[in-house]
Structure 1
């Protein structure tokens, strides 16, 4: 495989923005220096020739190739099927396309010119392309495109189509091709060796309601059509048919997209569909296109479960008691699939994707696999079933069986499951609405697969497909050529993607990359389906307010880009960027505002009602955005956003979107304590009056106190002055000290202006002595026909400058992290270490963009020292210098870790260790030794952090 440096990659992004992460050979003006070959020049297109004996999939791709040239140049090249015996009519130039060992035309070119094809002969899905002089009689020069096999040729054509300016998503995401009047290919051409991953696929799973409803509207349904076994011997138990819309017209679009992305493997929609039954053309059409078919982890032997078993099965789905009927069912599935290219799923799960019901599940599964292997031997008439591609998915309890000793033949691919990618339906909560997976997370996980040589099969659960276009393409780019990508150029992928899809300059494309990075970062902090009204703190660290501000900033930036785009480009930007940004912003703000509404109701604040109105408006806006998506391009994608996402009560989707509960206060009734409400930052309570949060006693509580210190990251604290009812009032704030700065010292509140936020800070810390200094601010409200209302707020300024210890080894206090005594925490990013100590060639590497905020760190290289374990304190380490100014004896350290399994084996379990100064080292294991095989630690379901005291 080729090597690709970051430097050259960046150069190519500038010169050839249509190509993402690939060596390019397409240019748009002739250059004698580059020795270019004309594809379209002076309004004339070079003819394209394919041999009639080449694969049908090559013929289809060649037809799409010339159509792509027309999409870019408005000129359609001729496409001709010409055999070697017929010859090509005299032509100055030609483009000759074909597969080595299949195309007689290519064989003639190779024999005539002695073209060296040794670099691809016998390889998997490889190709070369270059200009060749006098390739055939009557042809002066030709650009010859040769694939090592059928998909090698197909990928060579689609590779050039993308370079010409046609996005793989031109239909599925309405990306407008980039137009050029002329096209050229560098004479030296493009080539590619074997892909990183052999089978690279997507799984259309959990496809209801969105994809199913959309397809039901767009494609003709043919109920009652069945194709059973090799000879059609099955009779459906349910004569009504599947009713599935996923038929050949639908799948032709999926097949083309998959191949344009250089994927080759598909698990079809499953839950109310049966690929081989829904349409008798589905199975042969996949093979015609050149797509390898398979079935999911719970659908062995190329048969759909539960649909086909419901239609054709006899008895219960239990191998211990109904083995012969199930065996016969599988036999017909293999007979039906034998003529076509596929990877067979083996093993078995119980009905409804549950564990099998067996007294001895390991013994039963070993019997099942042995019987399935015998079916292969019988139907394929072979004594060597290792030549038949097979895979077995270690999903949930099945992994436990494997860990407990279940044996699997060595030729069977073990497909390990990872629930961290793009779409999932499972506990604790499914997620399948909008994009919520960071590309940096995909890279981190998949690069581990490459290092461990787990590169036979990669399968991505893409749900409805449509909301995850960018993530699917990055997955395919990594599986096609992992050598191109590294932790530092993931954002470069999105920049190039934005340039290709939206015709943006480099600056705006980088802005889009930042928008995408933040969109997925914010949604990955907590999946949208897992958000609730108190996910983000309503009172601490201004977290909820900062989240709202971040969403608003992101939406404004995205909208600015959207508004400057040409009208024909806006639909694709809306689908791929603008909608997920606005939809996520709307949901996030709605839930936060609902939480604030609930809190303010308990604080007797009139602004409670305003927040209730905003929640209602955002709830309606959520639907408006769905309607806008559905009416885009005359309803092309109607129903694609049908997925519900508001009002989850358990792991499964709600049956309808439900607005979060809100409260209202009586707008015409004054709160019992008076016209004014005082709420200091960090408090759930409010003054004056009784509030359960004002003090432990819950009544007759003292005046509130706010704390200030020089290391508070905000530099101030705030006090909210709110209305307690319909009576307007004016207020003033007076301090008894000169060193206290008050942002606003007076104001007026009324039903039309219910809230005012006052910021308190120390104007000059040098005026204060070390230690604590007290002050008081009196908030006085004046209202007509009422006595003045006074609420004192105590201010404690903690001037706690740290004393640098004599043995401090940091460079200076300025680059260290110092506890804010008023907040009681010191916080820093993983990447902000003071020292990075290498051991055995392993150190800690920053992974930009991964995580909740800035980045993450991981040991690097991943396979350093052959994956050996280190005793705590002896391995590679990072050190952080920080100061704690509070007078405390115990510290609680909270680390945020990405969930990981013991991929190095049970003898080398993953763990991390922490040490504070010279205190004892404390070690935590990701998966404790007593965890159930195949399961996850109980703590994973309850805790997101790992505290160390």
Structure 2
């Protein structure tokens, strides 16, 4: 029986890059039937990683059926059903089945981490049926085991996200065969970084005598293997214990089959934060001075320091980081080398020294070796650092999900190949994002697809911060790393549906995927960790910030409604994986929204209303604190004590508790008005257009604390007011709309008069009605209100040229989708665009004439060897090239910092409209992989705001423009 009507997806879903033979008529294999579990055999001589994983299969079967299979190292004389687990070349039983043609290993043998699971009839004397799980190597077998666990309903996140395992009395897997082919990327893993919360939790709940130690790493290793990862850069910071502090850690990693490496400042598995100072104390100079971590000053001492670790860990499967940076993730120190050529020479000497050490201490097993040109090291690499051909180049992103540089043709031909270091979490400039998983999966897909097309397929390492909260993004990244072709530009949301279906059942999978997609979209507008004062306008575009908060409010309502339908057993997992991220992001934004309204109210001279907004801001902060406290102390019985914290002590520029203003109570009253588009008063008219059929607001407020009576009236009968008056203690928002069926055609100047407290305010309205016929006849985007706003995916026509094209990437950017020029390896086009460049066309109906600025919102992808350019033209006029920022500086306040904070770069040009009517706006690819999100033409009325205006009226793409009001405070 399924719980409360849930139909789990997991037991019948095949894992990514695993393929079942079609049309098999054989019955499935019963792991458990009638209270009896099939025994599990694994040869005692097989790898310890395989034997240990077979023990996990025991536990997983018991989780599902309540019956624990026996784990055997000798074959039974008789068995109706038996699970045979083994590695080719390490298990005589598996090798024998393959040799006799009973097990098809043609797509497995000799491959990297491949496996097959197949039911074999009468495989051995006395055995009627067997489920055979065979791997090409030790990890291939381990992955085959964990595939079986997933197929019977055990999520990889069953422990780390408290995903319940549904009980079934009969546990059956399909007959197969199920083949897991080689991964797209050889080494796939995570970097535990900025791990303050993980350390706190580990110390409190896992190992009180340690910060992060073997017990915690056991949990991490198992999770990685269940996700089909094989690689780890361990925690490195001062508040954790460094990995090699406990010899059990590398021993356990080897036992599990995890390859352990180290990050860019940790050469040859050394942790400078923890290990250099003790080493330096033991190697003082003749004068007693401590040696500094500078290869130009102390090469021998540093070389011996590296050699000791190479010797100590020589027996383990490791990844060896070459090169050097300063201690604690700082820049390379070179007191005796000041120029770039001198530093390049020093780096070459360092690499040569490290290579000698590895050859002498580790030998041929010293692979893979990697070089990570991170931050300043990239400049040195580009200036001439010589990296041996068999060393893997690990290309870093800009810490915000944009790849800085990709390998060229010569680098793609290197024997060591190429890889990437990619951030799903980050501490540093210009702002940190460690709290929630907020990088759009479509953005991850776009960048990973691009790096793979450029030959970076040897190593993919993902910075996941504390690990928890990155569950969805990490799962997607591992899926991509195994099979880069699994997901395409149109179906990233399908991953979400499948993944959440595995956690919560297929019944709600699509709705959860839609919720998560909208959550990512709102984060793409501005990560909740990046929120600050005065980011979103509370004055323009119908209260831009309020409209955004209304979207969060609707999203939270959907999230809660769905959560209420789940059985109680799923509530903890749902809170962790969906409700907390949505609600937490909402509250982080909400407190800053009310704080901005509070500041504006103070400037406007509001009385009780100023304090009301202060109350709301502080209440939102208190709610956020209570929500996090619930996560840490109540969810899963307090299992995650200390793990979830939006404000670790070390985060630079993290949002916190915004300051608010309060005014002293005075026994007075008075009336004030602020119309949309005006901080105070109503000087800027409210604009209404029959194309967009907007609604606009007028804030009516009390300048004191005693009640005031007010009234509002328009001088035209077809103007609608959401309220015509009443008694006011604090404030109210009056929404103004137009009854278009009753409005005469033409342009009209209208007034809404607001009176009360002995004062009268006149709010001007500008109403343009072209008539219903004109609206129906429009063929493109219609200029209204002084601008044209276009979602870039809403094209009239797309033209592919020169082997390149524009494609829609759903779930990417600030709207529902963005368009990307591809393939990413296409050649740039810098001339003769109409004949050679792929093109986007948008039909626009202009009412105005003149020369108007155009802003193209592009996603801020990088490639410091090239450029990010496109070309723009109106009708048949010559295109103008627009150039994007190409360099990630890491400096606050520059163009790159602004781009990554906002998630877009705004490229500007101008078009000249000679006569009103329909025109064609044309966008050409200049450089491949450029992605366009929105396009805005300012025809003279565009206010300054953070977001692009709501999309203009279009009879197909936007026939009913959004007029829903934003979030508002209670009137009183």
What's the TM-score once normalised by structure 2's chain length? Answer: 0.84
3-state SS in 1 of match to 2:687: strand
Match of 1:642 in 2: 645
Q: 1:395-410 residue pairs with structure 2 within 5 A? A: 395-410=374-389
Mapped partners of 2:313, 2:187: distance in 1: 18
3-state SS in 2 of match to 1:321: coil
Q: CA deviation at 1:376?
A: 1.5
Match of 2:294 in 1: 318
1:765, 1:799 within 8 Å by CA — same for their partners in 2? no
Counterpart selection for 2:260 from 281, 293, 297: 293
- Alpha-carbon distance change, 868 to 341 in structure 1, aligned in 2, over 3 angstroms: farther
Counterpart selection for 2:749 from 755, 766, 774: 774
1:774, 1:797 within 8 Å by CA — same for their partners in 2? yes
Q: CA deviation at 1:732?
A: 2.3
Mapped partners of 1:255, 1:67: distance in 2: 16
- Alpha-carbon distance change, 616 to 481 in structure 1, aligned in 2, over 3 angstroms: same
- Alpha-carbon distance change, 628 to 731 in structure 1, aligned in 2, over 3 angstroms: same
Q: 1:560-599 residue pairs with structure 2 within 5 A? A: 560-599=561-600
Structure holding more strand per residue: 2
2:873, 2:880 within 8 Å by CA — same for their partners in 1? yes
Q: CA deviation at 1:658?
A: 4.3
Q: What do residues 168-219 of structure 1 show as CA deviations (whole Å, max 9, x unaligned)?
A: 01111111012222122333321111111100000100001x1111111123
Q: What do residues 538-595 of structure 1 show as CA deviations (whole Å, max 9, x unaligned)?
A: 1111211111111111111111112222222101111111111111111111101100
The reply on whether 1:377 has 2:359 as its aligned counterpart is yes
Match of 1:898 in 2: 859
The reply on whether 1:819 has 2:783 as its aligned counterpart is yes
Q: CA deviation at 1:677?
A: 1.0
Higher deviation after alignment, 660-669 or 339-348:
660-669
1:399, 1:933 within 8 Å by CA — same for their partners in 2? no
- Alpha-carbon distance change, 799 to 560 in structure 1, aligned in 2, over 3 angstroms: closer
Higher deviation after alignment, 916-925 or 609-618:
916-925
3-state SS in 2 of match to 1:881: strand
1:345, 1:390 within 8 Å by CA — same for their partners in 2? yes
The reply on whether 1:429 has 2:431 as its aligned counterpart is yes
The reply on whether 1:796 has 2:766 as its aligned counterpart is yes
Mapped partners of 2:362, 2:494: distance in 1: 47
- Alpha-carbon distance change, 327 to 555 in structure 1, aligned in 2, over 3 angstroms: same
Mapped partners of 1:255, 1:455: distance in 2: 22
Counterpart selection for 1:91 from 64, 79, 87: 79
Match of 2:167 in 1: 179
Q: What do residues 723-749 of structure 1 show as CA deviations (whole Å, max 9, x unaligned)?
A: 221332322223333343334333221
Match of 1:228 in 2: none
Mapped partners of 1:820, 1:330: distance in 2: 67
- Alpha-carbon distance change, 780 to 706 in structure 1, aligned in 2, over 3 angstroms: same
Higher deviation after alignment, 761-770 or 268-277:
761-770
3-state SS in 2 of match to 1:416: strand
Q: 1:807-846 residue pairs with structure 2 within 5 A? A: 813-821=777-785, 824-846=786-808
Match of 1:305 in 2: 272
Higher deviation after alignment, 103-112 or 251-260:
103-112
Q: CA deviation at 1:602?
A: 1.1
For structure 2, the 5+ residue unaligned runs are 1-6, 284-290, 402-422, 900-904, 911-972
Counterpart selection for 2:869 from 911, 920, 935: 911
Q: CA deviation at 1:894?
A: 1.4
Match of 1:363 in 2: 345
Mapped partners of 1:552, 1:455: distance in 2: 41
The reply on whether 1:682 has 2:694 as its aligned counterpart is no
Q: 1:20-31 residue pairs with structure 2 within 5 A? A: 20-21=15-16, 23=18
3-state SS in 2 of match to 1:569: helix
Match of 2:319 in 1: 343
Match of 1:452 in 2: 454
Counterpart selection for 1:726 from 701, 705, 709: 705
Q: 1:320-719 residue pairs with structure 2 within 5 A? A: 320-358=296-334, 359=337, 360-381=342-363, 388-418=367-397, 419=399, 420=401, 421-505=423-507, 508-542=508-542, 543-605=544-606, 606-631=608-633, 632-644=635-647, 652=652, 658-670=656-668, 675-686=670-681, 705-711=685-691, 713=692, 715-719=694-698
Mapped partners of 2:137, 2:793: distance in 1: 46
3-state SS in 1 of match to 2:755: strand
Match of 1:218 in 2: 205
Match of 2:218 in 1: 252
Higher deviation after alignment, 54-63 or 430-439:
430-439
2:437, 2:472 within 8 Å by CA — same for their partners in 1? no
The reply on whether 1:59 has 2:51 as its aligned counterpart is yes
3-state SS in 2 of match to 1:483: coil
For structure 1, the 5+ residue unaligned runs are 1-11, 223-243, 688-693, 695-703, 805-810
Mapped partners of 1:710, 1:474: distance in 2: 44
Match of 1:148 in 2: 136
Q: CA deviation at 1:451?
A: 1.6
Mapped partners of 1:67, 1:397: distance in 2: 48
Q: What do residues 253-273 of structure 1 show as CA deviations (whole Å, max 9, x unaligned)?
A: 000000000000000000124
Q: CA deviation at 1:422?
A: 2.0
3-state SS in 2 of match to 1:593: helix
Q: What do residues 819-852 of structure 1 show as CA deviations (whole Å, max 9, x unaligned)?
A: 223xx22101010111101102322110001011
Match of 1:227 in 2: none
- Alpha-carbon distance change, 743 to 635 in structure 1, aligned in 2, over 3 angstroms: closer
Q: CA deviation at 1:135?
A: 2.3
Mapped partners of 1:827, 1:666: distance in 2: 43
3-state SS in 2 of match to 1:827: strand
Mapped partners of 1:859, 1:893: distance in 2: 20
- When the two chains are superposed, the root-mean-square deviation of aligned CA atoms in Å is 2.8
2:745, 2:771 within 8 Å by CA — same for their partners in 1? no
Q: CA deviation at 1:604?
A: 1.6
For these two proteins, the number of residue pairs brought into alignment is 856
2:9, 2:506 within 8 Å by CA — same for their partners in 1? no
Q: What do residues 75-99 of structure 1 show as CA deviations (whole Å, max 9, x unaligned)?
A: 21111012xxxx4322232111100
3-state SS in 2 of match to 1:142: strand
- Alpha-carbon distance change, 165 to 114 in structure 1, aligned in 2, over 3 angstroms: closer
Higher deviation after alignment, 841-850 or 182-191:
182-191
Mapped partners of 1:123, 1:796: distance in 2: 71
3-state SS in 2 of match to 1:319: coil
Q: What do residues 475-526 of structure 1 show as CA deviations (whole Å, max 9, x unaligned)?
A: 1111112222112221111112222212351xx2211111111112212321
Q: CA deviation at 1:363?
A: 0.8
Q: CA deviation at 1:396?
A: 1.1
Match of 1:8 in 2: none
1:398, 1:934 within 8 Å by CA — same for their partners in 2? no
- Alpha-carbon distance change, 620 to 381 in structure 1, aligned in 2, over 3 angstroms: closer
